Amino acid sequence: MLPEFNFKRPETLREALKDYSSENYKLIAGGTDMIVEMRKEKDIDYDILDISGLGELKGIKKEKSKIYIGALTTFSDVFTSAVITKEAPLLKEAVRNAGSLQIRNRGTIGGNICNASPAADSVPALVALDAEVNLVSSDGERTLKLDEFITWPYDTDIKEDEILKSISFKPAEYTGYHFYKLGRREALAVSRMNVAVLLNIKNGIIESAVISPGSVMPTPGRVNEAERLAEGNKPSGELFEKAGVKVSEIMIEQSGIRWSTEYKKPVIEQMVKRALIFAAGIKT
């Protein structure tokens, strides 16, 4: 049962920032995570600032060679966007199976990032794209790298009066990409693990590799050690196997051995390998 709470729905970003800086508000955008959490609470001792009406924070545009995704853009809007389809198909794939259709219609990219769940589907893809988050408060704006913004599971570096305005990135140079999601079922499933990869192969040699797993490390981020291993080499099953093993080593280094490691270790190795093989377009 959803406890009673007060809420306000500002119509402009300016109004929202003013309210947000002065009162004890929590933000709600699509609500697909927030409402679930609020239902678990007995009393809600904060007020809700519903920013879902802020048109300024919606939409996708390309400006000066950078892609901007408004924080309130829904998964469905990202999925159908011509800009994303052309410039960042990796992100399109990442949101394809996030939640359910209903969740994708309501859930926003900004909410997915600010909730900072390790299982967020959009985050590994955005990290692979070197995305930045653009934050705004009454004091002004600032920009942070997405992988630095998320500091711990369900925790970010956002300040009390800041609102995430947009996510931006430069279209990556790549020849192949892949997003691999492993859930408990084919639909309506939280990612148990996922991984986003980009490969740029020139003259048969991997010039650059991006490997960005999700639900594997405490915080999102690329696995540079695995990327270095791949770079400068010819793509092959053995090479990608090594990259996968490197990812699992780093996972254990960062997350330690848990009850789930027995499963996650061998499986993330294979997921990374498969994603890279797919991105390289090779047969094994």
Partner 1 sequence: MPVATPKKVKKDSNIRVDAQRKVSGKAKFIEDVEYKNILHGATIRSPVTHGRIRGFKNRDEIKNMPGVKAVITADEIPGDNIVPFVKEDYPCLAEKEVKFYGQAVALVAAETPEEAKAAAETAELIIDEYPGIYDSIESMTPDAVYVGGDDNVHSYFKIRKGNIDEGFKGADVIVERVYNSGHQVHCYLENQGMIAEPIQNGAISVKGSMQCPFYVHNALVKVLGFKYSKVRVVQADTGGGFGGKEDMPSIVAAHAALLANKTGMPVSLIYDREEDFHTMSKRHPSRTRIKYGATTEGKLVACEAEYIVNGGAFCTLSPIVAWRGIIHITGPYEIENIKADSYAMATNTVPCGAFRGFGQPQVNFANEILIDELAEKLNMDPVELRKKNLLKPGSKTATNQVVGSSCGMAETLDKTLDKIKFKEHKGNDKGPVKKGMGISTVFYGVGLGAEGKYFAKAGAQVHIKEDGTVFVAIGNVEMGQGAETVFNRICADTLGCSYDMVEILEPDTTRVPDSGPTVASRATLVGGNAVKDAALKVRDSLFKAAAQKMGVKPFDIKIKDGKYISDEGEIDYVDVVDLAYLSRERVAAQGWYKVENVSFDEKTGLGDAYPVYSYSTNACEVEVDTETGVVKVNRLVAAHDVGKTIHPPSAEGQIQGGAAQAIGYALYENLVLEEGKIVNPSLSGYTIPTTMDLCDVEPILVESAYDEGPFGAKGLGEPPMVGPAAAILNAIHDATGIWFRKIPCLPEDIVKELNKDINKEPKELK
- Strands lying side by side in the sheet with 205-214: 176-183, 191-202, 205-214
Q: Which are the contacts of 86, defined by CB distance < 8 A and separation ≥ 6?
A: none
Q: Which is nearer to partner 1, 169 or 180 (CB)?
A: 180
Which position among 160, 186, 203, 204 is part of the footprint of partner 1 (CB under 8 A)? 186
Which window, 62-70, 132-140, 247-255, 268-276, contacts partner 1 (CB under 8 A)?
Answer: 268-276
Which window, 17-25, 127-135, 218-226, 270-278, contacts partner 1 (CB under 8 A)?
Answer: 270-278
Interface with partner 1 (CB under 8 A), residue total 18
Which window, 87-95, 160-168, 180-188, 201-209, contacts partner 1 (CB under 8 A)?
Answer: 180-188
Which position among 182, 207, 224, 255 is part of the footprint of partner 1 (CB under 8 A)? 182
* Sites for partner 1 among residues 25-44 (CB under 8 A): 42
In contact, 217 and 254? CB cutoff 8 Å: yes
Residue 269 half-sphere exposure, CB side, CA atoms within 13 Å? 15
Lookup: tokens for 115: 């909730």
DSSP 63: E
7 part of the interface to partner 1, by CB under 8 A: no
Q: Which are the contacts of 149, defined by CB distance < 8 A and separation ≥ 6?
A: 113, 133, 156, 157, 158
- Indicate the SS3 state at residue 181: strand
Q: Which is nearer to partner 1, 3 or 232 (CB)?
A: 3
Q: Which is nearer to partner 1, 40 or 64 (CB)?
A: 40
Q: How far apart are CA 195 and CA 259, in angstroms?
A: 21
Which parts of this chain interact with partner 1 (CB under 8 A)? 1, 42, 182, 184-190, 260, 262-263, 266-267, 270-271, 274
